[in-house]
A and B are shown apart, each in its own frame.
Chain A
Amino acid sequence: MPGRKGRDLRLLQGNECCAEAAILAGCTFFAGYPITPSTEIAEILSEKLPQVGGHFIQMEDEIASIAAVIGASLTGAKSMTATSGPGFSLKQENIGFASFTEIPCVIVNVQRTGPSTGLPTAPAQADLMQARWGTHGDHPIVALYPSTVPEVFDLTVKAFNISERLRVPVILLMDEVVGHMREKVEIPHVSDIEIINRPRPDVPPEKYLPYAAGPDGVPPMAPFGTGYRWHVTGLYHDETGFPTTAAPNADRQMKRLYAKIESAAEEITFTSEESLDDAEIVVVACGITARSARRGVRLARERGIKAGMLQLKTIWPFPYGIIGDIAGRVEKIIVAEMNMGQLIGEVERAACGKCEVVGYSRVDGEPIAPAEIVAKIEEV
């Protein structure tokens, strides 16, 4: 490790960077299963976690991997798993459980082209809706989406912090090309990294109510094995954690789960923009497409078009407010995405008819190129 003043610059693959960031964020447990294009994260953590006193387990499938992550998190360990499309599908039931029982965990989905086995080595951005609604039932979720290797570092750390702070599963969506791309990244000194830990109870075990939340809607969480005995169940439960079918409780529980995310929405919403101030046409994109959009907007500006772009680093909760404001002052929004049109529906909801919203989709397993963005800007 370099000295306090030395800069730690490295050339890292997105997947490598995610593994590095997880360890610095305090991750001590990883359970995974091999799947292209995410496998490097498991491989690296199988070697590095034991070196820092952490634990790696390869499970028998993706269902077992997320279940082990939930179990480890209950003991107090910051826990993560990584997967891709088919594995993400298999994890959904457990993601719903973690959301409903408020167990912090980070789930990395290095997206590949689906559905089914799809194009295992080709990128796509078609799991946006699955990240939000993959499991059944209403449930809160947070999803972050980096577009560069340095952003992978930043958002991996943030994923852990948000997950711990709000006791919610956080999905880190990556594009296959970001996972496998090598870029320069400066690893901050560990003392410069903001680390947030889950709220702990400040009452003795006999007074502990595991699901009694404070004003922020987040109940303190006692790690298993510290003398606090509590009941964890995927059934509706009251403040004691024990199951109940009482209607008023069910209503209160679901609304609290939503409110805890809504009240923190501002602090967990991350965006990046380019030339938005006087823009008449704005491109909204995320992940690898945001990089092409940024370049496309610069090229359009050189041609005298007042173009701008908004990159969404937080997909869920969706930044309806920010996009609504932009929609009120521009002529057109172009939503560029590598799917048949998932983001565009949310952008239309946010724009509320205040401006025209047009989509640009690419679904052939190839990333959208800057020239395509320029062409679309010129076309509209």
Chain B
Amino acid sequence: MATLKELSNKEILISSGHRACAGCGFPIIIKQALLAAENPVVVACATGCMEVCTTIYPYTAWKVPFIHNAFENSASTLSGVEAAYKSLSRQGKLDKKIDFIAFGGDGGTYDIGFQALSGAMERGHNMLYICYDNQAYMNTGIQRSSATPRGANTTTSPAGTESYGKKQYRKDLSAVMVAHEIPYVAQASPSNWNDLVTKVKKALAVEGPAFMNIIQPCVLGWKYPSDQSIELAKLAVDTCFWPLYEVEEGEYKLTYRPKEKKPVEDWLKRQGRFRHLFKPENAEILKEIQEDIDTRWARLLAKCGEEA
């Protein structure tokens, strides 16, 4: 566990002045993640909001080496960097310990970058991949991704007379990464900063690949006032839509259990993208969404050895 005092003495490796929207969640995620690093960090970033907003010519918000290649390959690009680092270390040309972190949004991680991510994890590169999951393609204007929750209105899963929004449930990518049997997988939220920082520390400390899935509220895509991002991240956790847990060497552990599990409506009704779900004709969909969360939560509790 890190103390706030300890963290406040460290240099913040992402500067202000980037062009993210007011209230955007990812600058907070970057800040918290990089604060956790004990060693010099090299960052690779997929195409997306984070890449675009933090690197507008001729400036950069990053105080660490930063590589952007394409949309689908931040994990592959960083694999090359990490392999070269290992080689240089073996040859005695580098003696510094360096941490490698790849960032990708949900589009660049769950969808187009999935193959690159899976390959990097399987090969066992000593790197941490962080997905900042804002649940749609926000950089191109809110198109559905496989991380978009069921029922969300996006520009390619529009809600209207013929549709209640996205039909499918989101892909449980964290579970897919657990199935890669890598040393460390975790879900985190910027609302629970200490939990997030502690998990990044663990992820960087393990030998081999680590994956973290971090929920990121998006003002434009989720449609809520820009001062409520952290509240919405917290509600995602407290409704058990986004449980905070980690899987170390295959062992599940719940790292935060809400005192009282809130109904998912508390989270949904605060976001414009779910507004249509509260029409009478969509009552059944709301019920199914709650049931799905309950089932997944019960399954997770069992895996973590927690009482139901």
A36 to B49, CA, bound (A): 13
- A46-B157, A50-B162, A117-B47 known; A35-B72 Cβ under 8 A: no
Q: Is A342 an interface residue (CB 8 A)?
A: no
- Let me know if B71 and A36 touch, CB within 8 A: no
How far is the CB of B23 from the nearest CB of chain A, in Å? Answer: 22
Q: Choose one: B70, B146, B156; the contact of A46 (CB below 8 Å).
A: B156
- A46-B157, A47-B158, A86-B71 known; A60-B112 Cβ under 8 A: yes
- A42-B156, A58-B156 known; A34-B70 Cβ under 8 A: no
Interface of A is mostly: mixed
- Let me know if A51 and B70 touch, CB within 8 A: no
List which B137-163 residues lie within 8 A (CB) of chain A.
137, 140-141, 143-144, 146, 155-158, 160, 162-163
Q: Choose one: B47, B68, B160; the contact of A47 (CB below 8 Å).
A: B160
Can you list, as one digit per residue, whether each of A148-175 has a CB less than 8 Å from chain B (1) or not (0)?
A: 0000000000000000000000000000
How far is the CB of A291 from the nearest CB of chain B, in Å? Answer: 27
Name the B residues within 8 Å of A46 (CB-CB): 155-158
User: How many residues belonging to A are interface residues under a CB distance threshold of 8 Å?
Assistant: 20
- Let me know if B162 and A34 touch, CB within 8 A: no
- Let me know if B70 and A56 touch, CB within 8 A: no
User: How many residues belonging to B are interface residues under a CB distance threshold of 8 Å?
Assistant: 23
Q: Is B104 an interface residue (CB 8 A)?
A: no
Q: Is A346 an interface residue (CB 8 A)?
A: no
Can you list, as one digit per residue, whether each of B154-179 has a CB less than 8 Å from chain A (1) or not (0)?
A: 01111010110000000000000000
- Let me know if A86 and B70 touch, CB within 8 A: yes
Q: Is B224 an interface residue (CB 8 A)?
A: no
When C-beta atoms are compared, the residue in chain A nearest to B115 turns out to be A61
How far is the CB of A38 from the nearest CB of chain B, in Å? Answer: 9
How far is the CB of A166 from the nearest CB of chain B, in Å? Answer: 31
How far is the CB of A56 from the nearest CB of chain B, in Å? Answer: 7
- Let me know if A56 and B112 touch, CB within 8 A: no
- Let me know if B140 and A61 touch, CB within 8 A: no
Name the B residues within 8 Å of A32 (CB-CB): 156
Can you list, as one digit per residue, whether each of B97-116 has a CB less than 8 Å from chain A (1) or not (0)?
A: 00000000001001110100
A116 to B158, CA, bound (A): 30
- Let me know if B143 and A39 touch, CB within 8 A: yes
When C-beta atoms are compared, the residue in chain B nearest to A33 turns out to be B112
Q: Is A43 an interface residue (CB 8 A)?
A: yes
A58 to B110, CA, bound (A): 14
Name the B residues within 8 Å of A51 (CB-CB): 162
Tell me how many residue pairs across A and B have CB atoms closer than 8 Å.
Answer: 50
- A60-B114, A61-B112, A117-B68 known; A35-B156 Cβ under 8 A: no
How far is the CB of A23 from the nearest CB of chain B, in Å? Answer: 15
- A46-B157, A56-B156 known; A35-B70 Cβ under 8 A: no
Name the A residues within 8 Å of B71 (CB-CB): 86, 117
A117 to B57, CA, bound (A): 14
A39 to B144, CA, bound (A): 12
Name the A residues within 8 Å of B163 (CB-CB): 50
A62 to B72, CA, bound (A): 11
When C-beta atoms are compared, the residue in chain A nearest to B71 turns out to be A86
A46 to B141, CA, bound (A): 14
Q: Choose one: B72, B141, B144, B160; the contact of A58 (CB below 8 Å).
A: B144
A116 to B51, CA, bound (A): 14
When C-beta atoms are compared, the residue in chain A nearest to B161 turns out to be A51
A43 to B140, CA, bound (A): 11
Name the A residues within 8 Å of B72 (CB-CB): 61
When C-beta atoms are compared, the residue in chain A nearest to B156 turns out to be A46
Can you list, as one digit per residue, whether each of A92-117 has a CB less than 8 Å from chain B (1) or not (0)?
A: 00000000000000000000000011
Name the A residues within 8 Å of B156 (CB-CB): 32, 34, 42-43, 46, 56, 58
List 26 contacting pairs A-B, 8 Å CB cutoff, sorted by A: A32-B156, A34-B107, A34-B140, A34-B141, A34-B156, A35-B140, A36-B140, A39-B143, A39-B155, A42-B143, A42-B156, A43-B143, A43-B156, A47-B158, A51-B162, A56-B156, A58-B143, A60-B110, A60-B112, A60-B146, A61-B111, A62-B112, A86-B70, A117-B47, A117-B70, A117-B71
Besides A34-B141, A47-B160, A117-B68, 19 more A-B contacts (Cβ < 8 Å) are A32-B156, A33-B112, A34-B107, A34-B137, A35-B140, A39-B155, A43-B141, A46-B156, A46-B157, A46-B158, A47-B158, A50-B162, A51-B162, A56-B156, A58-B156, A60-B111, A60-B114, A117-B70, A117-B71
Q: Which 5 A-B pairs have the closest CB atoms?
A: A61-B112, A34-B140, A60-B111, A34-B143, A46-B156
Residues of chain A whose beta carbon lies under 8 Å from any beta carbon of chain B: 32-36, 39, 42-43, 46-47, 50-51, 56, 58, 60-62, 86, 116-117
